[in-house]
Amino acid sequence: MSQLSGKDLLRKLVREYSQDRWRKLVRELIEQELDEANSTASVGGEYSTPHAFQGSNKKGKGKGKAGYTGGHDEPTDGTGHFIADDPKLRKTESVVNEGRYHAWRNDESLTPKQKIGMAMRETRDNLTELERVVRYNVRLKNEMKVDSRDYWKNTHKALSKISERLVKLANKVGQLH
Which residues on neighbouring strands pair with residue 7, listed in sequence order?
none
pLDDT of residue 152: 94
If asked whether residues 140 and 155 sit together in one domain, one would say: no
Residue 44 belongs to some domain of the structure: no
Which residues on neighbouring strands pair with residue 62, listed in sequence order?
56
Task: Give the domain range for residue 20.
Answer: 1-36
pLDDT, mean of each 10-residue run, the chain (177 residues): 64 60 70 65 58 60 53 54 60 60 90 94 94 96 94 95 94 91
Residue 172 belongs to some domain of the structure: yes
Residue 136 belongs to some domain of the structure: yes
What lies within 8 Å, CB to CB, of 13 at 6+ separation is: 22, 25
**Residue 15: Cβ within 10 Å count:** 11
pTM equals 0.43
Residue 24 belongs to some domain of the structure: yes
Residue 88 belongs to some domain of the structure: no
If asked whether residues 142 and 155 sit together in one domain, one would say: no
Longest dimension (CA), the chain: 76
pLDDT of residue 100: 87
**Residue 46: Cβ within 10 Å count:** 7
* Structural domains of the chain, count: 3
Backbone angles phi, psi at 167, to 5 degrees: -65, -45
Residue 61 belongs to some domain of the structure: no
Residue 54 belongs to some domain of the structure: no
